[in-house]
Structure 1
């Protein structure tokens, strides 16, 4: 099935029969990515008096209890409530589950090689994404095309889907200048293939999250000037057979009242008509 959409006065066609999921398949009790030393996602058979949720053990059906930390156990989408005292669940922030987006590929550079800044500070050996890299990739696109931005980092080996991120395997993050540029371009939905847009150990600042949602640094109040209808999706995986370019994204989420939920972003290539 094909649909036609109009974006910034230009018609595009998307083939809904050719979806490309960029969510990491999460295997409870199996191989899975992890961040910040959090425990893995697990699955346990529900067993109550007179009931066993396992057909192999004689049960009538399979019923499992999942234990998951969305922020650390795979592909997840966050709302502004990740950094505010006031609740604002992801399903409220995601006003439109379909939006145009641009997929870009960037090879992060050592922080020592950029003049960009980061609050509280860069560690020189960390790999970071800079303003100039983001600008070079997105300058030719209109703001209307940049409702979403999907960032793939190099190298892009398949084992990225099972990485354990820690001090020995420190994840990439964005400079504050790069995030400021994305905010100025009115990007509503940012999707990245690393576990956080911020430095893993950043003294609790989460400065890029604050820039993206327009919450004053080192505060946690949801003010009228905040950009609350925006989302950040982390730990996606964009396979190498997905080309850089222009797509329609369908961001699929469960309707749970919380600041982060497991998610499944699906891309459809957009062809000009």
Structure 2
């Protein structure tokens, strides 16, 4: 099924899913010191909500998970503010032109850090889309092993985004940032959250400044397969309708004819 958006031809029958599915197995990725998700049938006395148990005509599961620690999720600035802000209110549009870039974080002291110059250089080609300026940025980091889909991140000091890089992304008018790491910030950072604050332009988490970016989102723990080329894509950013700072999400991208790096 072909569609034309801003004179760009897009085949909607060929989605590229860059989310990580949530499971109750040891294959599920985990961050932030929690256990794996729980998916189990409801039990009422001797009744079990599982068809294979022979006591129910339907499968009827409870699911216990944490959107931030158990896989692909999209968050709003309510993740770091004193006042409540919901991702369900922040994200009201779901299709965006996105630029996919690949960077190898630089070694700085004991950390691996994505720095401004890497983002700036990788994004130089995005103006090729002429009158369709990307409003979403997808960052794939190297090395890009498939075990990102099941990695246990707790206490491993994963790579992160520098504050200067986050400022550059914000000033590039990127509204939606997607990354294949558990956080844009350092795992143990004394609560500074410099990249989160810089991207959302949050100067005070208690008394929110009027120019904070209420509609901007960050999506973490995606996985972009190695064979997917850098370039411009149409992004469909799907969330569940949770009234929460974050929701599990399913970002899907579509190739745009004649645009590649």
TM superposition score normalised by structure 1: 0.89
Tell me which residue corresponds to 1:2.
2
Pick closer, same or farther for the CA change 1:150–1:47 going to 2, 3 Å. same
Task: Determine the C-alpha separation between the residues in 1 that align with 2:176 and 2:241.
Answer: 18
Q: Over residues 40-68 of structure 1, what are the superposed CA-to-partner deviations in whole Å (9 max), with x where a residue is unaligned?
A: 11112101146320111111111111000
| Mapped pair 1:60 → 2:57 | yes
1:144–1:38: structure 2 CA closer, same or farther, 3 Å change rule?
farther
On the 8 A contact 1:46/1:64 being kept in 2, the answer is yes
Q: Deviations over 1:198-257 (max 9, x none)?
A: 00011011111111111115x333332111001000000000121100000001111110
Other structure's SS at 1:211 match: helix
Which of residues 211, 222, 227 is equivalent to 2:208?
A: 222
The counterpart of 1:48, out of the listed 35, 44, 50, is: 44
> Secondary structure at 2:25's aligned position in 1?
coil
Task: Please give the secondary structure, in 1, of the residue aligned with 2:240.
Answer: coil
Match of 1:174 among 129, 151, 161: 161
Q: Mean alpha-carbon deviation: is it higher for 97-106 or for 36-45?
A: 36-45
Other-structure match for 1:159? 147
1:79 equivalent in alignment to 2:85: no
The answer for unaligned runs of 5 or more in structure 2 is: none
When the two structures are aligned, how many residues end up with a matched partner? 255
Determine whether 1:32 maps to 2:32.
Answer: no
Alignment correspondent of 1:117:
none
**Partner residue of 1:114?**
none
Runs of 5+ in structure 1 lacking a partner? 112-123
- The question of whether the paired residues in 1 share the 8 Å contact of 2:100 and 2:138 is answered with yes
Give the alignment's Cα RMSD to 1 decimal: 1.6
Which stretch shifts more, 230-239 or 30-39?
30-39
Partners of 2:258 and 2:4 in 1: CA distance? 9
Name the CA distance, whole Å, in 2 between partners of 1:55 and 1:39.
27
Partner residue of 1:106? 103
Q: C-alpha displacement at 1:139, in angstroms?
A: 2.2
Distance in 2 (CA, whole Å) between partners of 1:220 and 1:210 is: 12
- For 1:269 and 1:178, the matched residues in 2 are separated by 26
Give the superposition deviation at 1:162.
Answer: 0.8
- In structure 2, how many angstroms separate the alpha carbons of the residues matched to 1:79 and 1:220? 15
User: Residue in 2 aligned with 1:121?
Assistant: none
Structure 1 position 262, deviation (Å)? 0.5
Q: Distance in 2 between matches of 1:68 and 1:83?
A: 20
Residue 121 of structure 2, aligned match among 136, 143, 146: 136
Tell me how far 1:264 sits from its aligned partner.
Answer: 0.3
Compute the TM-score of the two structures, normalised by the length of structure 2.
0.93
In 2: Cα distance, 1:166 partner to 1:54 partner:
33
- Residue 144 of structure 1: how far off its partner (Å): 5.0
